[in-house]
Structure 1
């Protein structure tokens, strides 16, 4: 249970944590966010997450709310005050509050910063990875700058709901050319019949996943061949293995896409290998 939330300079009880009614993140989705895994009370890959946060802020011309060092301090205080050993820390930065207007407010408008921490039961992801998950493909109807981690998540919310109603845990977006872009809240991967690891190249159509980057580091240390390129839904259906990556799922095997069983219907050896090595390679800051 979340007890304390940081909001604009103050640590507030959860029930009293609030932002202005005309905050641009609330009214216009004029905000970005990050989610970082907490493991044994420390942060996983914090440097990469903060770098992505800074990039998203720069792309939208939102001033940083504080230095990286100060933000790390705030996150660690929130983690301690919520007594979280394993879980996630969520941070959101909006362009701030002011009379509702499509025009950007003065550059001097202070950004809004919210940081909260939430505990997850240790091992839930590992248990799910033992059986793997199903994925539902959906048309990609998102805006053209998916590389910026904004809070404009309605297409992802609807895709997740469609997946849930189809008995799947995640949705994969498919573009007009029939190529998989990414998951609703994850990056998408396949393993080709010859054992090559494939994930889409970084461009404006996908989020530069932090877990994606670390998994690539793991693959390189293991001598696994990697290709960053587009792959079609049809290629995914014929893959030896498939999986998703994200801060909460780490490496999560996909055993079914739509109505097609992937491989032999069980989590693959390569997915398991990458998952088992992930935290040995990822950055950890206590």
Structure 2
């Protein structure tokens, strides 16, 4: 099972990391927020489809039928993606590297603006620190400390999934109008408010705050994982964006691990998950401040126009 999970994680990263460069080539810059926001919402659609398969196939045909069905769906998506993207790299190659050796990873890394790269990587670390423990400990916090039952926790997750199906696209559309950088600021403030709602919903008597938390997390979680790659896609050139996003996903994973370990350690030492949600608020606010300090992606578009002309 561990081997299968490692392979699954590797396949997910192999699909997601090149998405920023694919977006550069096939999606106009003014629509990348919407496009990548919709892509990031794909997890919510998958969860929804899995829930349908779970209720329809599992009782009748057993758990193996779920694996076979999901395999068939993924195979169809892979074929569709191969057909749509075939030849994309070959069409780009003559324009950018005709007669020249492809630069090495080290050369591409040396050409990147180090300050901007460091800011983006740190922001992705904070993304993992603020988003992953939220999901990991939400049910345990609601049932073990906040005074809610398992049915309420399940309903909260359902709300998160349904809102997430449109949240990434909606915030992406907003970001395309107000700039991706400003969209990230709004999103991190929404995420911080979601953590605040969770903390104030403790006691089992403020369910409306709990549902506000579910709605705001469903919006912000999917938006974050669409807006950050959209910004990277526009801030870094072809090849550089993929490299930054690949390393950024490592920072994201490290942040998620750190948050989960810290949350578990705090629970064991203090007896509550509340401190980790306070830390998540701090991480979300720091991400918002960091986003405010980043240069607007419009600047990079203007710098790229003479070269394209």
Q: TM-score range by the shorter chain?
A: under 0.3
**Alignment TM-score, normalising by the size of structure 2:** 0.23
Structure showing the higher helix proportion among its residues: 2
Structure (1 or 2) with the larger CA radius of gyration: 2
Greater RCO, 1 or 2 (C-alpha within 8 Å, sep 6+): 2
Structure showing the higher strand proportion among its residues: 1
**Alignment TM-score, normalising by the size of structure 1:** 0.24
